Chain A
Amino acid sequence: MMSLFYTIVPLCAIGLVAAIVLYFVSQKFKVEEDPRIDDVEKMLPGANCGGCGFPGCRGLATALVEQEDISSLYCSVGGGDCMKAIADYLGKAAPVKEPQVATVRCGGTCEKRPRTSTYAGTKSCAIASSVYKGETDCAYGCLGYGDCVEACAFDAIHINPETGLAEVDADKCTACGACVSACPKGVIELRKKWPKNRAIYVSCVSKDKGPVTMKACKAGCIGCSKCLKVCEFGAITIENNLAFIDSTKCRLCRKCVAECPTGAIKMVGLAPLPPKEKPETKEN
């Protein structure tokens, strides 16, 4: 009985002394922090993805509270509503940004882009691309080893085993940009997000000349500039044998899709244009 007493009493005494010391120390060395940082952090999604360029949500919250002009700060995960709520709380002008979605610009499926070598090394896009061009003859396309999958904190990008290509789940994608910087080939691009996940984009990043691209992949952009001629909005540019559709100028008119001879221009969530009618022959 006494031995119990000997342990309990001194332990309680030590605890009491430590508590008193800690109380005074915490008072003495108290860090004054804007309480709004905590509040703003709570309003942010808390994904800590780093898509805003800060190390985690607290970094962004601190910046949002401390900076006068917050127009350059944006959390793409929370989106416009979240940013508006925070801006209202802080009494600042809300940063506005169009919603975006990550887009994999490669259509070289196993079927369309035949393999010409076997990669026996570590299954990592960064390592494979530092060793050689990849298993197919296209030195630009998706390698399919999934560095982007690993980088995604939202389970929004996956490798389709049938095509061997990365595919984005547009509903889950928050446009944080982690996959864009993880891809050593620069295949993934952040593009404007249309309602119902509609999209039209050039699904190829090959800068090779037309014949070279054609030999390596049946779905590649050969830079023929047919799409350029039909675009009424000036959204299409051709550089280095590659067409590019500026998603901020594109109006989803679908004319370019029908023109593309290799099917490199992809359309999502849209019905194809009705086949061209020939008014002259009809009238006659």
Chain B
Amino acid sequence: MKTFPIGGVHPSDNKKWSKSKAIEVMELPDVVTIPLAQHIGAPATALVKKGDAVKVGDKIAEATGFMSANIHAPISGTVTAVDLQPNGQGLRQMMVTIKREGDEWAEGIDLSTDLVKECNLSSAEIIARIKEAGIVGMGGATFPTHVKLSIPEGKKAEILIINGVECEPYLTSDYRTMLERGEELLVGTSILMKAVSVEKAVIGVENNKPDAIKHLKELAKDYNGIEIKALKTMYPQGGEKQLIAAVTGREVPAPPALPIDVGAVVCNASTAVAVYEAVQKNKPLVQRVVTVTGKSIKDTKNLLTRFGTPVSALIEKCGGLPEGDNRVLNGGPMMGRPMSNLQSPVMKGCSGITVISGAEALRGEPSACIKCAKCIEACPMGLEPYLLAKQSKKKAWGEMEKNDITSCIECGCCQFTCPANIALLDYVRLGKQTVMGIIRARNAKK
């Protein structure tokens, strides 16, 4: 069984807390706040103003330029404000607030659950629909999907890879989606194959989800060119470059090279389901499955949640936060971002809410680096995290750039594996942000 060739770690997967919980529909919130920046790229431009009435699926914000995504109303009601609201990190950003009245969907959206297999649209039409529906990468990176599918001239896609790896510990939203919505996933995959004109697609699933592999293999018999590939469990296999290496054996060169340079297009499993809904049912992206989990959460759940629902409502539904120190993460424990504001909304990239409680919520005291090189061994990008952290501390940004800091995928393997509890990723991430800023400024000058 294959996996990516260098680095990686084995955190205990902790999926047992929520893997057996079927997807439940979360109650509709009375008020939602919808950020205009839910994706990588330029924030969308609001199309509504205070007092406007909206239905579910109405476009409330339009993509600003190519590298951006549309945003649709997740509930029906009245827009009460378009202003700055605190996000999960407590920083203010533009959000649209909608007060709910009933649950009325916009016209033209097919709400039936019947499976529609036939798709006679051309590649350009499919991409246009995906763009219209505001679909972004739902694994967490929130890269606009229509951008990914628009293959630049002179390049050719050879293989489509569907990311069903879900290597992040605790999270089970993709897993439940694969189990419960396998047919839709496969139709979505066929549509994506057509969009990028490839004959072959591989759905990569880690072998810690044997039932999902078996289920999909059973279903895939009816579909041409779709292969289900079991992969050896290893974090961060869900990283785009790692998955390409695991499936095809090809290595994506350092930035600015993209996966398409080795002929691969990668999409998340939940994204493929969203593509199915957008293309076959004309349903924009207004909801997603969010895993609410943690050892201290009484009743863990996989909840189909409308965007804009406050995180606190999801936690409340699952039994509330325990007393004492809690670290609430938007995502899983490895790559999730801690939140200080639980009134913040669920967004397109939020695959889970993980609660880490008690002593585990706090970090250990760091001690000195003894150059054991465990971080180098663990780094899936072949970087030297201890060196980068040291250079970041000394603000040696030029040196960091030479050491390929821009290749870092911020997976956290270095920090996870460090026996001295050194916050390597903190420093490396700071360095990466600073260096990226320097590079952007330099390119803007040119």
Do the two chains belong together in a single complex? yes
Binding site for B on A (CB under 8 A): 116-118, 120-122, 124, 126-127, 130-134, 137, 139, 208
Quick one: which of A121, A132, A208 has the most chain B CB within 10 A?
A: A132
Decide: A137 and B90 in contact? CB cutoff 8 A: yes
Point out the residues of chain B lying under 8 angstroms from A132, CB to CB.
Answer: 89-91, 338, 340
Q: A127-B429, A133-B90 are in contact. List 18 more A-B contacts (CB 8 A).
A: A118-B325, A118-B362, A120-B327, A120-B363, A121-B363, A126-B430, A127-B423, A127-B426, A127-B427, A130-B433, A131-B89, A132-B90, A132-B91, A132-B338, A133-B86, A133-B340, A134-B90, A139-B91
B residues 398-442 near A (Cβ < 8 Å) are: 423, 426-427, 429-430, 433
Judging by beta carbons under 8 Å apart, are B362 and A133 in contact? no
Contacts of B337 in A (CB 8 A): 131
**A-chain residues with CB within 8 Å of residue B86 when the two chains form the complex:** 133, 139
A130-B429, A133-B340 known; A120-B361 Cβ under 8 A: yes
In the complex, per-residue mask of B322-338: 1 if CB is within 8 Å of any chain A CB, else 0: 00010100000000011
Contact A133 B89 (CB under 8 A): yes
Number of interface residues of B (CB under 8 A): 19
Q: Which residues of A contact B362 (CB under 8 A)?
A: 118, 120
What residues of chain B lie closer than 8 Å to A133, measured between beta carbons?
86, 89-91, 340
**Is B92 close to A, CB under 8 A?**
yes
Name the residue in B325, B337, B361, B426 with the highest tally of chain A Cβ atoms < 10 Å from its Cβ.
B426
A sample of 15 inter-chain contacts (CB < 8 A) reads: A116-B340, A120-B362, A121-B423, A124-B426, A127-B430, A130-B429, A131-B337, A132-B338, A132-B340, A133-B86, A133-B89, A133-B91, A137-B90, A139-B90, A139-B92
Q: Is the beta-carbon distance between A122 and B423 smaller than 8 angstroms?
A: yes
CA distance A120 to B361 in the complex (A): 8
- Nearest A residue to B83 via CB reads A209
Option from B92, B338, B340, B426 in Cβ contact (under 8 Å) with A122: B426
Distance A208 CA – B91 CA, assembled complex (angstroms):
11
Taking CB atoms and an 8 Å cut-off, the chain B residues in 55-98 that contact chain A are 86, 89-92
B 189-220 contacts with A by CB, 8 A: none
- Taking a contact as CB atoms under 8 Å apart, the answer to whether A117 and B340 are in contact is yes
Query: Which residues in A have their C-beta under 8 angstroms from that of B433?
Result: 130
> Which residue of the partner chain A has the closest CB to B429?
A130
For B363, list chain A residues within 8 Å (CB): 120-121
Complex-state Cα separation, A133 to B87, whole angstroms: 10
A130 — which chain B residues lie within 8 A by C-beta?
A: 429-430, 433
A120-B362, A121-B426, A122-B427 are known contacts. Are A131 and B92 too (CB-CB below 8 A)?
no
B204-245: CB near A (< 8 Å → 1, else 0) gives 000000000000000000000000000000000000000000
Report the separation of the CA atoms of residues A11 and B406 in the bound assembly, to the nearest whole angstrom: 53
User: Shortest beta-carbon distance, A138 to chain B, in Å?
Assistant: 9
* A116 to B, closest residue via Cβ: B340
Q: Mark B153-165, 1 if CB is under 8 A from A, else 0.
A: 0000000000000
**Could you tell me the distance in whole angstroms from the C-beta of A277 to the nearest C-beta in chain B?**
44
Question: Do residues B90 and A131 form an inter-chain contact, with CB atoms below 8 A?
Answer: no
Which A residue's beta carbon lies closest to that of B89?
A132
Across the interface, which residues of B come within 8 angstroms of A131, CB to CB? Answer: 89, 337-338
* Shortest distance from the beta carbon of B193 to any chain A beta carbon, whole Å: 39
Q: Bound state CA distance, A131 and B426, in angstroms?
A: 9
For residue A151, give the distance in angstroms from its CB to the closest CB of chain B. 10
Closest A residue to B363 using CB positions: A120
A44 to B22, CA, bound (A): 73
Complex interface: chain B residues within 8 A of A126 (CB): 430
Q: Chain B residues with Cβ under 8 A from A208's Cβ?
A: 92
A132 to B339, CA, bound (A): 8
- Distance in Å from the Cβ of B431 to the closest Cβ of chain A? 10
A contact residues around B427 at 8 Å (CB): 122, 127
A90 vs B338: C-alpha distance in the bound complex, in angstroms?
A: 58
Of the listed residues B86, B325, B340, B361, the one surrounded by the most CB atoms of chain A closer than 10 A to its CB is B340
Shortest Cβ distance from residue A25 to the other chain B in the assembled complex, whole angstroms: 33
Name the distance in Å between A108's Cβ and chain B's nearest Cβ. 14
* Residues of the B chain whose Cβ atoms lie less than 8 Å from the Cβ of A127: 423, 426-427, 429-430
Cα–Cα distance between A27 and B429 once the two chains are bound (Å): 51
Cα A116 to Cα B433 in complex, Å, equals 26
Task: Give the chain B neighbours of A137 by CB distance below 8 A.
Answer: 90
Q: Would you give the shortest CB distance from B184 to chain A, in whole angstroms?
A: 36
A-side contacts of B325, CB under 8 Å: 118
Hey, which chain A residues are within 8 Å of B340, CB to CB?
A: 116-117, 132-133
Smallest distance from the beta carbon of A48 to chain B beta carbons, Å?
Answer: 16
CB closest chain-B residue, reference A117? B340
* Set of chain A residues within 8 Å of B92, measured between Cβ atoms: 139, 208
**Distance of B145 from chain A, by nearest CB (Å):** 27
Q: How far is the CB of A82 from chain B (nearest CB, A)?
A: 28
